[in-house]
């Protein structure tokens, strides 16, 4: 398989695991011809259950690797890494285009009819100053319930092996949202869209689910075209996607195949 040379221009996407594939999927839906490199830092996951220093350290290492591979724009496809590391990354790489993901509090407040919004996210994301800032800026008259879904991202990573565990965790966390009578629920972790149907079944048709993957993809593409107008069609790298993992390559390969129809071999890397 022909890979882009290290000095070529590509978009890097990373997450602590496979969750960021939901953002990769949105990018490919908007522009199938993009040259992409996705890294699942599964060997050091989950970020959401780890301390902020660990998240910052890993984000710095993965970002440097993506730069070395030719990334001129990087999407931090992880709410926890965005919350704790994006400011440090911007300080370290001031000329690099960086796009993060955050829980969609602002659009959720706009959608809510009964002024009750639930945010499903990792405990680390909910504890961050960045999330507190989102609430201060956009919550307005809404009651926001943050549900720290400890263990859910890790269980989703395991696929069918942990199907029963995923269901048990969804029962637990969705029950909190039902008791709070929210009418809008934010999927505040990029893993959660992969179980969105199961979440919707538990919350019922009266509750709207909000996923920000498409908005993130749109922002990334706007930056990409502005910086590389000559590459907007990517005629030289049609649809080329590389997949790398610092952990179990089988997990990433399976999700990429099932969710994106990608049959690319996954490279195991050490960072």
191 is in an annotated binding site: yes
In this prediction, residue 7 carries a pLDDT of 47
16 is in an annotated binding site: yes
79 is in an annotated binding site: yes
22 is in an annotated binding site: no
Domains of the chain: 10-101+213-268 (3.40.50.1860), 105-210 (3.40.50.1860)
Would you please indicate which residues are annotated as catalytic (active-site) residues?
Answer: 78, 189
Q: How confident is the model over 123-143, as pLDDT tens digits?
A: 999 999 999 999 999 999 999
Q: How confident is the model over 186-205, as pLDDT tens digits?
A: 999 999 999 999 999 999 99
In this prediction, residue 238 carries a pLDDT of 55
269 vs 271: CA distance, rounded Å: 7
Answer yes or no: pTM beyond 0.85.
yes
């Amino acid at each position: 398989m022909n890979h882009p040379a290290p000095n070529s221009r590509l978009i890097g996407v990373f997450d602590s695991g496979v969750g960021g594939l939901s953002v990769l999927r949105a990018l490919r839906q908007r522009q199938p011809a993009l040259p992409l490199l996705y890294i699942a830092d599964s060997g050091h996951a989950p970020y959401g259950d780890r301390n902020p220093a660990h998240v910052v350290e890993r984000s710095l290492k993965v970002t440097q690797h993506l730069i070395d591979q030719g990334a001129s724009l990087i999407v931090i496809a992880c709410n926890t890494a965005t919350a704790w590391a994006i400011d440090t990354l911007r300080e370290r790489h001031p000329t690099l285009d960086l796009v993060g993901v955050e829980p969609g509090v602002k659009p959720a407040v706009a959608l809510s009819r009964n002024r009750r919004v639930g945010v499903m996210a990792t405990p680390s994301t909910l504890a961050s100053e960045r999330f507190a800032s989102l609430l201060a800026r956009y919550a307005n008259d809404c009651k926001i319930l943050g549900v720290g879904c400890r263990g859910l991202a890790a269980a989703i990573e395991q696929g069918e092996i942990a199907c029963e565990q995923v269901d048990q965790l969804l029962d637990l966390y969705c029950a909190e949202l039902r008791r709070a009578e929210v009418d809008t629920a934010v999927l505040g972790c990029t893993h959660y869209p992969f179980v969105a149907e199961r979440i919707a079944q538990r919350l019922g048709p009266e509750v709207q689910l909000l996923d920000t993957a498409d908005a993130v993809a749109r922002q990334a593409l706007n930056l990409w075209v502005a910086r590389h107008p000559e590459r907007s069609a990517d005629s030289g790298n049609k649809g080329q996607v590389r997949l790398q993992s610092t952990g179990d390559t089988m997990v990433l390969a399976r999700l990429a195949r099932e969710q994106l129809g990608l049959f690319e071999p996954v490279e195991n890397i050490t960072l």
